[in-house]
Structure 1
Amino acid sequence: MTWRLLAAPGAAPVAGRGRVVAAVHGLADNGSTWQELATRLGAGYRWYAVDAPWSADPDGSLRDGAGPARWLRQALAAVPEPVDILVGHSFGANAVLDHLATRPEPAVRAAVLIAPLVRPEDRAPHPVLIARTRAAIRQVVADGLRARLGPRATQVADDVLAAMVDKAVARVPDGAAEVVLDRLLATPRPALGRVGTPTLVLAGRSDQRLAGVRADSLAVMPAVEVRIHQHHGHFCHITEAAEVAAECAEFLDRVVPAPSPTGPTLEVVA
């Protein structure tokens, strides 16, 4: 895998400056999803992003028992400098969460989980949960497409947009719903109470598919701050990038103080 340093247009990355961030995207997404948030967060951070295995083939890459947490642990060893902060979105947030919950010692100085997927609370039959998860994945893919289109989405005809969604969903393997649900049901809940890494969880009440208000169940973590906003959707790091960046900056300035002032830096990896 290759971690890429995300840089503002025209900026030249300089090693060893700023707080180092490693960012992990969600299902059927890619590392470029972090560009807007990294730009908004601004100087003082060096963002590394990577295209995780589940960007293209979650069914094939997540079937083994260790799954995303083991992949992330191996991937972090390839980051060219020590990581201070882990940031994850959606399924990537769950990879970060599982990584933190299964490590015997603190892995990083802080973490930010954006719209993490939360296991269902009801005890519906497994086929029903699979059907719900499959429908949720389709909607998440559609929401991601609209988020990336931004204002242009209103200029795209409904049938064209639907065809674009169908094409994007077709790249998600049929087994993705089973993989996602299996990982949610396997999340080590008792271990969360032992995660001492300062963690910010951001979710939205309007995101009622796999995340949303159920994110408050993560409040069992002793050093967590869970913030659920009325208007945030599943891709709030894109659609509400300015707000998310401000919240991240406030949290990280408290728990990961910036090093002594240096010149402006903005780097990201995708």
Structure 2
Amino acid sequence: MTWRLLATPGAAPEHGRPRVVAAVHGLADHGSTWQDLAVRLGPGYRCYAVDAPWSGDPGRSLVDSAGPAQWLRRALAAVPEPVDVLVGHSFGANAVLDHLATGAPPTVSAAVLLAPLVRPADQAPHPVLIARTRAAIRQVVADGLRARLGPRAAHVADDLLATMVDKALQRVPDGAADLVLDRLLATPRPALGQVRTPILVLAGRDDQRLAGVRANSLAVLPAAQVRVRPHYGHFCHITQATEVAAECAEFLDRVVPALSPAGPTLEVSA
């Protein structure tokens, strides 16, 4: 697997080396989803992104593959320098959460979870929840397309958008829907109370499909700050990139200690 180093503006920070961020995308997405956020975080952060097995790349399959946490551990070992911060969006946020809940190395200083998939503790995994989750996967793919289209989305006819969503869903890896359901229904609640890593959870109040106010149930994490914003969407790292970057930087500046000066420049390798 190959991590890509995302472009950031400006020179290195005046004091110390940049904080190293590893970012994990959601279902049927790609590592490029983090570019806007990386630019807005600025030179104080060096951001890497990877295309996970649950991306929309042709030929990908999750059947009989390692679970998200196991995959992430192997992926982190391939980052060309030690990671200070883990960032995950949607299903990628759950991979980050599962990794932290296992307590397995490599460890990080902090994490940011954007619109994670969470089942509130008082909601049993009944058939209605499962059916809604399957329908929500389609809606999330549609929201992702709209987020990337930006203002152009207003000029795309509904039937054309539906066709685009169908094509995107065809690229969703085999077994992905079942894996999403599995992780939604098996949120590792008993282990969450043991996670001491400082965590920022960001979600949108009206994002009722896979995240939204359900993120409040992550308050069980002893070192978590859960922030539900009224105007954030499921893809807030794209549609509200400036605000999300500011929230991330404010949080990380407080919880991640100042880092020593940077050593030699490292190159990204497979």
Per the TM superposition, whether the score is higher than 0.5 is yes
Partner of 1:18: 18
Partner of 1:102: 102
1:227-247 CA deviation, whole Å, 9 max, x = no partner? Answer: 001111100010011110110
Q: What is the count of residue pairs matched by the alignment?
A: 261
1:84-111 CA deviation, whole Å, 9 max, x = no partner? Answer: 0000000000000000000256710000
157-166 or 39-48: which moved more? Answer: 157-166
Partner of 1:4: 4
Partner of 1:249: 249
Residue 207 (1) aligns with residue 194 (2): no
Tell me how far 1:63 sits from its aligned partner. 4.5
Tell me how far 1:268 sits from its aligned partner. 10
Counterpart mapping for 1:214-253 below 5 A: 214-253=214-253
Tell me how far 1:261 sits from its aligned partner. 7.7
Large movers: runs of 4+ above 6 Å: 9-12
Q: Alpha carbons of 1:87 and 1:200: their partners in 2 closer, same or farther (altered >3 Å)?
A: same
Q: TM-score, normalised to structure 2's length?
A: 0.88
Residue identity matched to 1:70: Q
Partner of 1:180: 180
- Conservation of the 8 A alpha-carbon contact between 2:10 and 2:43: no
CA distance in 1: counterparts of 2:260 and 2:68, whole angstroms:
35
Q: Alpha carbons of 1:200 and 1:9: their partners in 2 closer, same or farther (altered >3 Å)?
A: closer
Residue 111 (1) aligns with residue 111 (2): yes
Partner of 1:123: 124
Tell me how far 1:162 sits from its aligned partner. 1.8
Residue 28 (1) aligns with residue 12 (2): no
Partner of 2:164: 164
Q: Alpha carbons of 1:123 and 1:187: their partners in 2 closer, same or farther (altered >3 Å)?
A: closer
Residue identity matched to 1:61: L
Q: Alpha carbons of 1:9 and 1:242: their partners in 2 closer, same or farther (altered >3 Å)?
A: closer
Tell me how far 1:124 sits from its aligned partner. 5.4
- Conservation of the 8 A alpha-carbon contact between 1:84 and 1:110: yes
Q: Alpha carbons of 1:23 and 1:154: their partners in 2 closer, same or farther (altered >3 Å)?
A: same
Counterpart mapping for 1:70-109 below 5 A: 70-104=70-104, 107-109=107-109
CA distance in 2: counterparts of 1:4 and 1:59, whole angstroms:
19
CA distance in 1: counterparts of 2:252 and 2:4, whole angstroms:
22
Q: Alpha carbons of 1:59 and 1:49: their partners in 2 closer, same or farther (altered >3 Å)?
A: closer
- Conservation of the 8 A alpha-carbon contact between 2:31 and 2:49: yes
- Conservation of the 8 A alpha-carbon contact between 2:63 and 2:174: no
Q: Which has the higher contact order (CA 8 A, sep 6+)?
A: 1
Residue identity matched to 1:102: T
CA distance in 1: counterparts of 2:106 and 2:53, whole angstroms:
24
- Conservation of the 8 A alpha-carbon contact between 1:26 and 1:90: yes
Q: TM-score, normalised to structure 1's length?
A: 0.88
Residue identity matched to 1:125: H
Residue identity matched to 1:204: G
CA distance in 2: counterparts of 1:196 and 1:18, whole angstroms:
23
Q: Alpha carbons of 1:20 and 1:246: their partners in 2 closer, same or farther (altered >3 Å)?
A: same
Partner of 1:67: 67
Residue 47 (1) aligns with residue 47 (2): yes
Partner of 1:153: 153
- Conservation of the 8 A alpha-carbon contact between 2:76 and 2:106: no
**Stretches of structure 1 lacking an aligned partner (at least 5 in a row):** none
**Stretches of structure 2 lacking an aligned partner (at least 5 in a row):** none
- Conservation of the 8 A alpha-carbon contact between 1:23 and 1:88: yes
Tell me how far 1:184 sits from its aligned partner. 1.9
